[in-house]
Amino acid sequence: MIVASKAITLGLVAGFVGGLFGVGGGIIMVPGLVLWLEFGQHRAHATSVATIIAVAAAGVVSFATDGEVRWDYAGWMLIGAIAGAYVGARFVARISAVWLARGFVVVTFAAALRFLVSS
């Protein structure tokens, strides 16, 4: 039961952050799964991706209701995102857990720095 409550709490936080900032699946879920629920790095990434569909669907309903979704752009990005996610998921098995974690930190830090500088 403790594991389920931790997983629900992690999902709640990731969903809230995702709805608020448009992120959450990776930025909250992966570290939470690794550090709090003690998942291996590869399993954390895979589990995080498995939740993205539901998180995105819940968020898009609210944004679409408010007329905030640019469906033309979303459709084109979806095509690239599906292809990119498939290739990335096939490639990730070739990366060690250490380098996968390091890459995650670098990408997250670079995004944070970019947002900090541009705001």
- Summarised one tens digit per residue, pLDDT across range 38-76 is 999 999 999 998 888 888 888 899 999 999 999 999 999
**What contacts 24+ positions apart, CB below 8 Å, involve 109-116?**
none
Count other C-beta atoms under 10 Å from residue 18's C-beta: 23
**Which residue, among 27, 72, 76, 79, has the nearest Cα to 48 in the 3D structure?**
27
CB crowding 50-76: b at 16 or more within 10 Å, else e: ebbeebeeebeeeeeeeeeeeeeeeee
- pTM given for the model: 0.82
Tens digit of each residue's pLDDT (9 = 90 or more) over 76-102? 999 998 999 899 999 999 999 999 999
Q: Which residue has the tokens 């954390």?
A: 44
| Domain locations along the chain | 2-118
Q: Distance between CA 66 and CA 60 in Å, rounded?
A: 10
Tens digit of each residue's pLDDT (9 = 90 or more) over 5-18? 999 999 888 888 88
Look at residue 24 in the predicted model and tell me its pLDDT: 64
